[in-house]
């Protein structure tokens, strides 16, 4: 049943003040304000490729070199980006409220929440700065720039560049003795399931929260798209912070329109 949205910030802050269990669910919108491309919709191209067509197991199997160039580009862009006022407001809110259980669940893979200082963080879709061995499955953090010598000066979004001529043997490989398997980005690609442990943690947080902030997410990518509507359906207070309404907005009690870097600091500071 649809509810009438409120934009009463004072009332929202009073509700937030009494909350004991807070979940902040973030999406591409908050990172876009730091200059991170969203690769969604009409502008979702890298070179001549639809970005979503490269973020698949099939694309990596067909051309791991091309996929690694795409992710090298993304790693470099994210490394140069800085957490914005929205990220910082969330981190500061967590740091100041030891009396509350605060969980940040993000669909973003750029690491900006962690760099802003957020501690209790669930990254639903992985992280650009983690690799996974396709052979032994070991997951490691890797901030090397470039991640391998062959990717030096590669990955520019030049539409005239087609394919990739980097030999597979020159791509990142596992350094574990006796393995040497090809590494892939530790990202949940289209057609892949979220890690069960990650999904379980997120589910537990959503089921126990008494207030949920939906921040810069389109609410169309599953399974995250169902989190907040389900919380609202069981009686939790849900507030959406976005530059425009989404299909889920009618399910929520609060809607605050505008950039997250403007609306969140107002909402999360006393």
Q: Given CATH 3.40.640.10, say whether it is the number of domain 1-35+83-125+194-270.
A: no
Residue pLDDT, tens place only, 122-167: 999 999 999 999 999 999 999 999 999 999 999 998 888 989 999 9
Which residues, 6 or more positions from 266, have their beta carbon under 8 angstroms from its beta carbon?
Answer: 9
Catalytic pick among 72, 125, 173, 186: 125
Q: What is the pLDDT of residue 40?
A: 67
C-alpha to C-alpha distance for 205 and 101, rounded to whole angstroms: 9
Q: For residues 201 and 38, give the distance between their C-alpha atoms in angstroms, rounded to a whole number.
A: 25
Q: Is 207 annotated as a binding residue?
A: no
Residue 66 has pLDDT above 70, yes or no: yes
**pLDDT (0 to 100) of residue 222:** 74
Q: Mind listing the pLDDT tens digit for each residue in 162-197?
A: 899 999 999 999 999 999 999 999 999 999 999 999
Residues carrying CATH 3.30.1600.10, the chain: 37-80+126-187
Does residue 148 have a known ligand-binding role?
Answer: no
- The model's confidence at residue 264, banded by pLDDT at 50, 70 and 90, is very high
Residues paired with 257 in a beta bridge: 242
Q: Which of 191, 172, 147, 167 has its CA nearest to residue 55?
A: 191
Spell out the residues 6+ positions from residue 64 whose beta carbon is closer than 8 angstroms to its own. Answer: 168, 171, 182, 184
pLDDT digits (tens, 9 = 90+) for 199-218: 999 999 999 999 999 999 87
pLDDT classification of 1: cutoffs 50, 70, 90: very low
Structure confidence at residue 43 as a pLDDT band (50, 70, 90): low
Q: What is the mean pLDDT of residues 100-114?
A: 97
The segment(s) of the chain belonging to CATH 3.40.50.1220 are 1-35+83-125+194-270
193 in a known ligand binding site: no
Q: Is residue 216 annotated as involved in ligand binding?
A: yes
86 is in an annotated binding site: no
- pLDDT value of residue 201: 97
**pLDDT of 246-258, one tens digit each?**
888 998 999 999 9
pLDDT band at 52 (very low <50, low <70, confident <90, very high): confident
Long-range contacts of 195-203 (CB under 8 A, 24+ apart): 198/122, 198/123, 198/124, 199/124, 199/223, 201/122, 202/105, 202/122, 202/124, 202/227
Is 39 within any annotated ligand binding site?
A: yes
The class level of CATH for 37-80+126-187 reads alpha beta
pLDDT at position 223: 77
Specify the 3-state DSSP secondary structure of 139.
strand
Active site (annotated) includes residue 125: yes
Distance from C-alpha of 267 to C-alpha of 240, rounded to nearest angstrom:
11
Spatial contact of 20 and 264, defined as CB atoms under 8 Å apart: no
Is 38 annotated in a binding site? The answer is yes
Residue 46 has pLDDT above 80, yes or no: yes
Q: What is the pLDDT of residue 189?
A: 96
The reply, when asked if residue 71 is annotated as ligand binding, is yes
User: Mean of the per-residue pLDDT values for the chain?
Assistant: 93
Q: How far from 102 is each of 41, 116, 121, 251, CA to CA, in Å? A: 32, 15, 9, 22
pLDDT computed for residue 219 by the predictor:
72
């Amino acid at each position: 049943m649809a509810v009438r949205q409120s934009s009463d910030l004072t009332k929202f802050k009073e509700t937030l003040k009494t909350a004991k269990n807070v979940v902040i669910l973030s999406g591409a919108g908050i990172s876009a304000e730091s200059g991170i491309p969203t690769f969604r919709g009409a502008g979702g191209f890298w070179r001549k490729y639809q970005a979503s067509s490269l973020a698949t197991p099939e694309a990596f199997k067909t051309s791991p070199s091309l996929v690694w160039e795409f992710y090298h580009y993304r790693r470099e862009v994210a490394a140069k980006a800085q957490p914005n006022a929205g990220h910082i407001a969330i981190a500061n809110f967590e740091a100041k409220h030891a009396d509350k259980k605060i969980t940040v669940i993000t669909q973003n893979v750029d690491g900006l929440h962690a760099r802003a200082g957020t501690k209790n963080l669930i990254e639903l879709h992985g992280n650009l700065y983690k690799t996974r061995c396709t052979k032994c499955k070991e997951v490691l953090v890797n901030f090397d720039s470039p991640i391998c010598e062959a990717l030096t000066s590669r990955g520019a979004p030049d539409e005239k560049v087609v394919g990739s001529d980097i030999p597979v043997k020159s791509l990142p490989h596992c350094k574990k003795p006796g393995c040497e398997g090809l590494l892939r980005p530790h990202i949940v690609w289209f057609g892949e399931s979220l890690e069960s442990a990650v999904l379980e943690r997120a589910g537990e947080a959503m089921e126990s929260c008494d207030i949920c902030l939906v921040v810069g997410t389109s609410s169309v990518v599953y399974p995250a798209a169902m989190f907040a509507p389900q919380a609202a359906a069981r009686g939790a207070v849900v507030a959406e912070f976005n530059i425009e309404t989404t299909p889920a907005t009618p399910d929520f009690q609060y809607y605050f329109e505008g950039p997250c870097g403007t609306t969140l600091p107002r909402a999360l500071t006393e």
